[in-house]
Structure 1
Amino acid sequence: MDFLDEIVLTGLTVFGRHGVYTHEREEGQDFTIDLRLRLSLDQAAASDDVTDTVHYGELAEKVAAIVAGEPVKLIETLAERIASAALEDERVQNVTVTVHKPHAPIPLNFADVAVTVNRSRPPQALEDITI
Protein backbone atom coordinates (compact mmCIF):
# COMPACT_ATOMS: atom_id res chain seq x y z
CA MET A 1 0.00 0.00 0.00
CA ASP A 2 1.58 3.25 -1.13
CA PHE A 3 -0.81 5.69 0.52
CA LEU A 4 -3.52 5.93 3.11
CA ASP A 5 -6.82 7.64 2.50
CA GLU A 6 -9.32 8.55 5.20
CA ILE A 7 -12.91 7.91 6.16
CA VAL A 8 -14.05 10.44 8.76
CA LEU A 9 -17.17 10.23 10.91
CA THR A 10 -17.75 13.14 13.28
CA GLY A 11 -20.40 14.05 15.78
CA LEU A 12 -21.93 10.62 16.41
CA THR A 13 -23.90 11.32 19.59
CA VAL A 14 -25.06 8.40 21.72
CA PHE A 15 -26.53 8.15 25.23
CA GLY A 16 -24.35 6.16 27.61
CA ARG A 17 -23.80 5.54 31.31
CA HIS A 18 -20.04 5.97 31.62
CA GLY A 19 -18.27 7.71 34.45
CA VAL A 20 -16.44 7.38 37.72
CA TYR A 21 -19.36 8.60 39.81
CA THR A 22 -22.47 6.57 40.63
CA HIS A 23 -24.82 9.33 39.50
CA GLU A 24 -23.19 9.32 36.04
CA ARG A 25 -23.96 5.65 35.67
CA GLU A 26 -27.51 6.01 37.01
CA GLU A 27 -28.53 9.13 35.09
CA GLY A 28 -26.36 8.72 31.99
CA GLN A 29 -25.54 11.42 29.46
CA ASP A 30 -24.75 11.98 25.81
CA PHE A 31 -21.29 11.20 24.48
CA THR A 32 -20.10 12.37 21.08
CA ILE A 33 -17.66 10.29 19.04
CA ASP A 34 -15.36 11.33 16.19
CA LEU A 35 -13.56 8.68 14.12
CA ARG A 36 -10.80 9.00 11.54
CA LEU A 37 -9.95 5.75 9.74
CA ARG A 38 -6.83 5.52 7.59
CA LEU A 39 -6.86 2.91 4.85
CA SER A 40 -6.44 2.55 1.12
CA LEU A 41 -9.61 3.45 -0.77
CA ASP A 42 -8.26 2.86 -4.28
CA GLN A 43 -9.99 -0.52 -4.73
CA ALA A 44 -13.35 0.89 -3.59
CA ALA A 45 -12.95 3.91 -5.87
CA ALA A 46 -12.16 1.65 -8.83
CA SER A 47 -14.96 -0.86 -8.21
CA ASP A 48 -17.60 1.59 -6.90
CA ASP A 49 -18.66 -1.27 -4.59
CA VAL A 50 -19.37 -0.75 -0.89
CA THR A 51 -17.93 -4.18 -0.08
CA ASP A 52 -14.50 -2.84 -1.05
CA THR A 53 -14.51 -0.24 1.71
CA VAL A 54 -15.45 0.18 5.35
CA HIS A 55 -19.22 0.64 5.47
CA TYR A 56 -19.38 3.74 7.66
CA GLY A 57 -23.07 3.20 8.44
CA GLU A 58 -22.38 -0.24 9.85
CA LEU A 59 -19.35 1.06 11.74
CA ALA A 60 -21.46 3.87 13.23
CA GLU A 61 -23.97 1.30 14.48
CA LYS A 62 -21.18 -0.78 16.02
CA VAL A 63 -19.72 2.28 17.76
CA ALA A 64 -23.17 3.34 19.00
CA ALA A 65 -23.68 -0.13 20.50
CA ILE A 66 -20.36 0.18 22.35
CA VAL A 67 -21.24 3.62 23.74
CA ALA A 68 -24.77 2.55 24.71
CA GLY A 69 -23.50 -0.76 26.09
CA GLU A 70 -21.51 -1.85 29.12
CA PRO A 71 -20.54 1.15 31.26
CA VAL A 72 -16.90 1.97 31.95
CA LYS A 73 -15.45 4.46 34.40
CA LEU A 74 -13.09 6.25 32.03
CA ILE A 75 -13.67 7.67 28.58
CA GLU A 76 -10.12 6.52 27.88
CA THR A 77 -11.40 2.95 28.17
CA LEU A 78 -14.38 3.75 25.96
CA ALA A 79 -12.10 5.25 23.30
CA GLU A 80 -9.89 2.16 23.40
CA ARG A 81 -12.89 -0.15 22.88
CA ILE A 82 -14.05 1.88 19.91
CA ALA A 83 -10.56 1.90 18.37
CA SER A 84 -10.33 -1.88 18.76
CA ALA A 85 -13.68 -2.31 17.04
CA ALA A 86 -12.57 -0.14 14.10
CA LEU A 87 -9.35 -2.14 13.72
CA GLU A 88 -11.33 -5.39 13.44
CA ASP A 89 -11.57 -4.58 9.73
CA GLU A 90 -8.16 -5.62 8.40
CA ARG A 91 -8.21 -2.86 5.79
CA VAL A 92 -8.01 -0.19 8.50
CA GLN A 93 -4.35 0.57 9.17
CA ASN A 94 -4.83 3.34 11.71
CA VAL A 95 -7.71 4.90 13.63
CA THR A 96 -8.06 8.06 15.67
CA VAL A 97 -10.98 8.12 18.10
CA THR A 98 -12.12 11.12 20.10
CA VAL A 99 -14.71 10.67 22.83
CA HIS A 100 -16.35 13.91 23.91
CA LYS A 101 -18.04 14.18 27.30
CA PRO A 102 -19.56 17.69 27.23
CA HIS A 103 -21.59 17.13 30.41
CA ALA A 104 -18.74 15.85 32.57
CA PRO A 105 -19.27 16.53 36.29
CA ILE A 106 -16.98 19.54 36.54
CA PRO A 107 -18.37 22.38 38.69
CA LEU A 108 -17.04 25.05 36.32
CA ASN A 109 -18.18 26.56 33.05
CA PHE A 110 -16.62 24.60 30.15
CA ALA A 111 -17.54 23.63 26.61
CA ASP A 112 -16.24 20.06 26.37
CA VAL A 113 -13.95 17.40 27.75
CA ALA A 114 -12.50 14.95 25.25
CA VAL A 115 -10.02 12.11 25.07
CA THR A 116 -8.32 11.13 21.82
CA VAL A 117 -6.54 7.85 21.15
CA ASN A 118 -4.60 6.97 18.02
CA ARG A 119 -4.16 3.24 17.36
CA SER A 120 -2.46 1.41 14.51
CA ARG A 121 -2.55 -2.12 13.31
CA PRO A 122 0.58 -3.96 14.47
CA PRO A 123 3.08 -4.41 11.63
CA GLN A 124 2.87 -7.79 9.96
CA ALA A 125 5.71 -10.15 10.80
CA LEU A 126 8.18 -10.57 7.98
CA GLU A 127 8.53 -14.08 6.65
CA ASP A 128 11.91 -15.74 6.98
CA ILE A 129 14.00 -14.36 4.18
CA THR A 130 16.59 -16.57 2.50
CA ILE A 131 19.32 -14.97 0.57
Structure 2
Amino acid sequence: MDKVYVEGMRFYGYHGAFKEENELGQRFYCDIIMELDAEKPGTTDDLDDTVNYALVYESAKEVLEGEPVKLVETLTRKVASLILGRFDIVHAVTVKVTKPDPPIPGHYDSVAVEIRRERGFDGT
Protein backbone atom coordinates (compact mmCIF):
# COMPACT_ATOMS: atom_id res chain seq x y z
CA MET A 1 0.00 0.00 0.00
CA ASP A 2 1.22 3.48 -0.86
CA LYS A 3 1.18 6.27 1.71
CA VAL A 4 0.34 9.97 1.68
CA TYR A 5 1.63 12.03 4.61
CA VAL A 6 0.17 15.30 5.88
CA GLU A 7 2.31 16.31 8.83
CA GLY A 8 2.84 19.18 11.22
CA MET A 9 -0.68 20.62 11.13
CA ARG A 10 -1.23 23.04 14.02
CA PHE A 11 -4.49 24.02 15.64
CA TYR A 12 -5.83 25.79 18.72
CA GLY A 13 -8.60 24.05 20.62
CA TYR A 14 -10.34 23.94 23.97
CA HIS A 15 -10.00 20.25 24.80
CA GLY A 16 -8.90 18.72 28.06
CA ALA A 17 -9.94 17.24 31.36
CA PHE A 18 -9.23 20.44 33.30
CA LYS A 19 -11.53 23.47 33.41
CA GLU A 20 -8.63 25.80 32.57
CA GLU A 21 -7.97 23.90 29.33
CA ASN A 22 -11.58 24.36 28.27
CA GLU A 23 -11.50 28.08 29.09
CA LEU A 24 -8.02 29.10 27.92
CA GLY A 25 -7.43 26.59 25.15
CA GLN A 26 -4.10 25.29 23.89
CA ARG A 27 -2.18 24.14 20.85
CA PHE A 28 -2.62 20.74 19.24
CA TYR A 29 -0.52 19.21 16.47
CA CYS A 30 -1.74 16.56 14.05
CA ASP A 31 0.02 14.18 11.68
CA ILE A 32 -1.90 11.95 9.28
CA ILE A 33 -0.67 9.03 7.17
CA MET A 34 -3.17 7.69 4.64
CA GLU A 35 -2.70 4.30 3.01
CA LEU A 36 -4.03 4.07 -0.53
CA ASP A 37 -3.25 2.82 -4.02
CA ALA A 38 -1.48 5.76 -5.69
CA GLU A 39 -1.16 4.07 -9.10
CA LYS A 40 -4.15 5.81 -10.69
CA PRO A 41 -3.41 9.36 -9.46
CA GLY A 42 0.26 8.81 -10.27
CA THR A 43 -0.73 7.97 -13.83
CA THR A 44 -3.57 10.44 -14.44
CA ASP A 45 -2.01 13.38 -12.57
CA ASP A 46 -5.59 14.29 -11.58
CA LEU A 47 -6.40 15.64 -8.09
CA ASP A 48 -9.85 14.02 -8.28
CA ASP A 49 -8.16 10.60 -8.24
CA THR A 50 -6.43 11.06 -4.88
CA VAL A 51 -6.80 12.88 -1.55
CA ASN A 52 -6.84 16.65 -1.58
CA TYR A 53 -4.38 17.81 1.12
CA ALA A 54 -6.40 20.97 1.74
CA LEU A 55 -9.49 18.86 2.50
CA VAL A 56 -7.44 16.62 4.80
CA TYR A 57 -6.33 19.75 6.68
CA GLU A 58 -9.92 21.02 6.88
CA SER A 59 -11.05 17.64 8.26
CA ALA A 60 -8.45 17.74 11.03
CA LYS A 61 -9.28 21.38 11.75
CA GLU A 62 -12.99 20.57 12.04
CA VAL A 63 -12.23 18.16 14.88
CA LEU A 64 -9.29 19.87 16.61
CA GLU A 65 -10.85 23.33 16.60
CA GLY A 66 -14.36 21.96 17.07
CA GLU A 67 -16.52 20.81 19.95
CA PRO A 68 -14.39 20.36 23.09
CA VAL A 69 -13.71 16.84 24.37
CA LYS A 70 -11.72 15.65 27.38
CA LEU A 71 -9.30 13.15 25.87
CA VAL A 72 -6.65 13.24 23.17
CA GLU A 73 -7.78 9.68 22.39
CA THR A 74 -11.22 11.02 21.46
CA LEU A 75 -9.76 13.69 19.18
CA THR A 76 -7.53 11.16 17.45
CA ARG A 77 -10.37 8.69 16.87
CA LYS A 78 -12.64 11.43 15.51
CA VAL A 79 -10.03 12.59 13.00
CA ALA A 80 -9.41 9.02 11.80
CA SER A 81 -13.14 8.36 11.39
CA LEU A 82 -13.63 11.59 9.46
CA ILE A 83 -10.76 10.84 7.06
CA LEU A 84 -12.06 7.33 6.34
CA GLY A 85 -15.57 8.69 5.91
CA ARG A 86 -14.60 11.46 3.49
CA PHE A 87 -12.01 9.79 1.29
CA ASP A 88 -13.06 6.52 -0.33
CA ILE A 89 -9.58 6.01 -1.79
CA VAL A 90 -8.06 5.72 1.72
CA HIS A 91 -7.87 2.09 2.86
CA ALA A 92 -6.29 2.84 6.25
CA VAL A 93 -5.25 5.91 8.20
CA THR A 94 -2.80 6.58 11.01
CA VAL A 95 -3.47 9.73 13.02
CA LYS A 96 -1.24 11.21 15.70
CA VAL A 97 -2.48 14.09 17.83
CA THR A 98 0.08 15.81 20.05
CA LYS A 99 -0.66 18.10 22.96
CA PRO A 100 2.49 20.14 23.66
CA ASP A 101 3.21 21.38 27.17
CA PRO A 102 0.40 19.48 28.92
CA PRO A 103 -0.78 20.99 32.22
CA ILE A 104 0.30 18.07 34.38
CA PRO A 105 2.90 17.93 37.17
CA GLY A 106 6.44 17.26 36.02
CA HIS A 107 8.42 18.25 32.96
CA TYR A 108 6.91 17.06 29.69
CA ASP A 109 7.53 18.28 26.18
CA SER A 110 4.27 16.77 25.02
CA VAL A 111 1.82 13.92 25.21
CA ALA A 112 0.46 12.24 22.11
CA VAL A 113 -1.92 9.55 20.97
CA GLU A 114 -1.47 7.67 17.70
CA ILE A 115 -4.04 5.29 16.26
CA ARG A 116 -4.39 3.34 13.03
CA ARG A 117 -7.78 2.49 11.60
CA GLU A 118 -8.66 0.45 8.53
CA ARG A 119 -11.76 0.82 6.42
CA GLY A 120 -14.51 -1.24 8.02
CA PHE A 121 -12.97 -1.10 11.51
CA ASP A 122 -15.47 1.49 12.75
CA GLY A 123 -18.36 0.85 10.40
CA THR A 124 -17.10 2.88 7.44
TM-score over 0.5 for the pair: yes
Short-chain TM bin: over 0.9
Q: Deviations over 1:36-65 (max 9, x none)?
A: 000001100110000000001111012112
Task: Select the structure of larger CA radius of gyration.
Answer: 1
Matches within 5 A, 1:77-96: 77-88=74-85, 89-96=87-94
Give the letter aligned to residue 30 of structure 1.
Answer: R
Are residues 1:121 and 2:115 paired?
no
Give the letter aligned to residue 30 of structure 2.
Answer: I
Superposition RMSD on alpha carbons, in Å? 1.1
Provide structure 2 residue ranges, at least 5 long, that are not aligned to the other structure: none
Give the letter aligned to residue 39 of structure 1.
Answer: L
TM-score (normalised: structure 1) = 0.88
More strand by share: 2
Q: Contact conserved, 2:102 with 2:108, CA < 8 A, in 1?
A: no
Are residues 1:9 and 2:6 paired?
yes
Please identify runs of 4+ aligned residues in structure 1 that moved more than 4 A: none
Q: Which moved more, 1:107-116 or 1:23-32?
A: 107-116
Q: Deviations over 1:66-121 (max 9, x none)?
A: 11010000010000000001101111111000010012111211211100111001
Percent identity (aligned): 38
Give the letter aligned to residue 75 of structure 2.
Answer: L
The number of equivalent residue pairs is 120
